[in-house]
């Protein structure tokens, strides 16, 4: 390791304590890295890539994986190689371009710091994840994260157009939207960049029918490589940056990003719709979505019962959820309170015509209490002890088409009932995303096998309903082994071609997106309840 310390100006930590601390993230896995590297600048990162490449060519089994806030729930940043923590030094937040509604940040910037800068200009970064107080921008880009406002503004991929990325040749490149003429110019370059544009565009052109057929036709998706997003719908612009959004650092390291910002709302109103029968869910959500809410969320009765215990004041303000199977929360923003009230009232009337009870929330404290309970649905399980059980976040990233909501959840609950599990579920119901976290005794023999059995059953169910197995938290260790089944062997082969094109030696975050195995995943599931 001494030779690496001579190569870069940043920090290298090989201590047992550091390696142990970085062996975990927000997922169910434990993987111990060789060392933790904190590159000081882009030059450091370039030198690191060259160092790893040279060692790889010498026959060493080495690799690098990026890490930011450590909030990934799929094990996406965990590695046995060198873990590269971008948050220590790659943390510069630029000035807000108010007119253009944009903000340049380095890849290690924490979301909360970008948010503070945007707020000063009356703007915000729209993906708005529930972990935004602790997650990093680089991780959001790697996972194609989204949050409660994604029904209006889309996931990270819809809010990032321009990236700077260090690739496997050790050079940094700018990627952003290009016209067809600009793409042709790029293809003529006698460089690695030129090769990428030639090969990627050819791969897409030659296989477009397959790509169009096999990519998930859901509102959101974070699985695979987003080949279907590189050309816009009018085929007038090509944007290679979109390939890196959701790639989990397997194609290169994001050093800088230009974030698209949107205005902070001037006024908001919430509707709360209790759901007593799952068969009601589809019609309720379809009706609400006709009025274009900024937020359409849900949480179940298990979540509410936890809130009564750990957040009693919020639970009391949100008492309408008491005794209900689940609730749907819809928030409508407006440029004025009058405008917000008008669309909220219209949505309320439409839902009431379905024969559903609707609560009009005009108290800001009540609104925030409902949203806090939703945001804390999983944290309440993760942060509080439950006898000999551990909250296992591995069924937390599924999406199905709107018309199947009720049937899907009924089938999901039927699977869980076979195992007599305690669990909560919540999600961005407006775009079909459901997150579920069960409690499992991981010290009991056969627990890791149980986790994989449940993961397989739920993924099979999601596929049967035409959904996607990954929405916000990406493939990581938990879902990569299922990708060939999900996309089919031909599409999976295209992903392999992309990986080989960008990373021919396999130095970037191996075992994610490609090359994952069920055995490796099972063997690295945590074995304790702590």
Q: Where are the beta strands (DSSP E) in 234-351?
A: 237-239, 253-263, 267-275, 295-300, 326-334
Half-sphere exposure of 59 (CA within 13 A, CB side): 0
Instruction: Kindly write down the DSSP assignment for every residue of 104-126, as one continuous string.
Output: EEETT-BHHHHHHHHHTTTEEET
Bridge partners of residue 427, in order along the sequence? 298
Weakest mean pLDDT among 12-16, 131-135, 445-449, 512-516: 131-135
Radius of gyration of the CA atoms of the chain, in A: 23
Return the closest-CA partner of residue 463 out of 523, 375, 404. 404
- At 426, give phi and psi (nearest 5°): -155, 175
Q: Residue 132's pLDDT band (boundaries 50, 70, 90)?
A: confident
Continuous H helices in 164-207: 180-187, 192-206
Distance CA 440, CA 70 (A): 22
Structure-token pair, residue 336: 């004025």
- The mean pLDDT of 275-298, rounded to a whole number, is 94
Which tokens sit at 462?
Answer: 């999601």
Report the side by side order of strands in the sheet with 11-13: 11-13, 35-38, 82-85, 64-67
Confidence of residue 235 (pLDDT cuts 50, 70, 90): low
Give the span between the Cα atoms of 65 and 54, in whole angstroms. Answer: 17
64-67 and 82-85 as β-strands: parallel, antiparallel, unpaired? parallel
Measured CA to CA in angstroms, residue 66 lies from 62, 162, 448, 486 at distances of 14, 19, 26, 26
Instruction: Return the SS3 of 76.
Output: coil
Cα-based angle 143, 24, 518 (whole degrees, multiple of 5): 70
233 confidence band (pLDDT: 50, 70, 90): low
Tokens for 251?
Answer: 């194609």
| Beta-strand relationship, 35-38 and 82-85 | parallel
Give residue 422's pLDDT band: very low, low, confident or very high (50, 70, 90).
confident
User: 27-45 pLDDT, tens per residue?
Assistant: 999 999 999 999 999 999 9
pLDDT of residue 356: 92
**Tokens representing 88?**
């220590």
pLDDT score for 1? 66
Every domain of the chain and the residues it spans = 2-85, 93-124+136-263, 267-377
Determine the Cα–Cα distance for residues 127 and 63; give it in Å rounded to an integer: 30
For all residues of the chain together, what is the average pLDDT?
94
Q: How far apart are CA 71 and CA 129, in angstroms?
A: 11
Half-sphere exposure (Cβ direction) of 87: Cα atoms closer than 13 Å: 19
Residue 387's pLDDT is what?
76
Cα 70–Cα 27–Cα 52 angle in degrees, nearest 5 = 55
Question: Averaged over 5-12, what is the pLDDT?
Answer: 93
Going by the DSSP 8-state scheme, the letter that residue 327 receives in this structure is E
pLDDT at 462: 95
pLDDT of 388 above 90? no
- Neighbouring CB atoms inside 10 A of 410's CB total 13
Q: What is the pTM of this model?
A: 0.94
Q: Please state which of the ranges 48-62, 319-333, 383-397 shows the lowest mean pLDDT.
A: 383-397
93-124+136-263: in CATH 3.30.465.10: yes
Q: For residues 233 and 71, give the distance between their C-alpha atoms in angstroms, rounded to a whole number.
A: 33
Taking domain 267-377, whether its CATH number is 3.30.70.2190 is answered by yes
End-to-end CA, the chain:
32
Tens digit of pLDDT for each residue in 297-325? 999 999 999 999 999 999 999 999 999 99
3-state SS, residue 264: coil
Angle at 224 between CA 19 and CA 498, to 5 degrees: 90
Count other C-beta atoms under 10 Å from residue 525's C-beta.
23
Least Cα distance to 358 among 370, 369, 344 occurs for 344
What is 2-85's CATH number? 3.30.43.10
């Amino acid at each position: 390791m001494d030779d690496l310390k001579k190569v870069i100006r940043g920090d290298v930590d090989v201590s047992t304590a550091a390696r142990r601390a970085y062996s975990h993230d927000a997922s169910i896995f434990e993987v111990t890295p060789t060392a933790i590297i904190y590159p000081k600048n882009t030059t450091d990162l370039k030198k690191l890539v060259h160092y790893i490449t040279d060692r790889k060519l010498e026959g060493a089994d080495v690799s690098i994986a990026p890490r930011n806030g450590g909030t990934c729930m799929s094990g996406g940043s965990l590695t046995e190689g060198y873990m590269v923590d971008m948050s220590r030094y790659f943390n510069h937040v630029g000035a807000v371009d108010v007119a253009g509604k944009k903000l340049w940040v380095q890849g290690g910037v924490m979301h909360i710091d970008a948010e503070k800068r945007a707020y000063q200009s009356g703007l915000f970064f729209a993906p708005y994840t529930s972990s935004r107080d602790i997650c990093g921008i680089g991780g959001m880009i790697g996972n194609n994260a989204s949050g409660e406002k994604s029904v209006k503004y889309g996931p990270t991929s819809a809010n990032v157009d321009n990236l700077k990325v260090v690739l496997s040749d050790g050079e940094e490149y700018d990627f952003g939207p290009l016209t067809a003429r600009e793409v042709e110019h790029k293809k003529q370059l006698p460089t690695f960049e030129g090769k990428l544009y030639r090969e990627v565009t050819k791969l897409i052109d030659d296989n477009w029918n397959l790509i169009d057929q096999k990519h998930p036709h859901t509102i959101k998706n974070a699985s695979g490589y987003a080949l279907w997003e590189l050309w816009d719908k009018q085929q007038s612009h090509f944007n290679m940056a979109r390939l890196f959004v959701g790639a989990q650092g397997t194609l290169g390291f994001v050093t800088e990003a230009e974030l698209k910002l949107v205005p902070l709302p001037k006024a908001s109103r919430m509707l709360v719709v209790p759901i007593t029968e799952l068969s009601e869910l589809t019609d309720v959500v379809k009706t609400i979505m006709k009025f274009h809410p900024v937020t359409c969320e849900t949480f179940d009765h298990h979540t509410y019962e936890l809130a009564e215990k750990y957040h009693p004041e919020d639970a009391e303000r949100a008492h309408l959820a008491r005794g209900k199977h689940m609730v749907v929360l819809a928030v409508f923003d407006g440029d004025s309170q009058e405008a917000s009230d008008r669309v909220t009232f219209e949505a309320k009337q439409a839902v009431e015509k379905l024969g559903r009870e609707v609560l009009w929330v005009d108290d800001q404290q009540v609104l925030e209490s409902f949203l806090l309970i939703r945001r804390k649905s999983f944290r309440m399980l993760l942060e509080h002890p439950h006898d000999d059980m551990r909250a296992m976040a591995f069924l937390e990233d599924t999406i199905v088409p709107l018309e199947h909501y009720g049937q899907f959840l009924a089938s999901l609950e039927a699977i869980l009932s076979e195992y007599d599990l305690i669990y909560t579920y919540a999600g961005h119901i407006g775009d079909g995303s459901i997150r579920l976290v069960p409690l499992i005794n991981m010290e009991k023999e056969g627990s890791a096998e149980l986790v994989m059995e449940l993961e397989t059953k739920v993924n099979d169910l999601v596929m049967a309903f035409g959904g996607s197995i990954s929405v916000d938290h990406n493939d990581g260790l938990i879902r990569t082994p299922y990708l060939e089944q999900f996309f089919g062997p031909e599409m999976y082969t295209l992903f392999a071609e992309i990986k080989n094109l960008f990373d021919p030696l396999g130095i970037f975050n191996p075992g994610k997106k490609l090359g994952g195995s069920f055995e490796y995943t099972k063997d690295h599931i945590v074995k304790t309840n702590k």
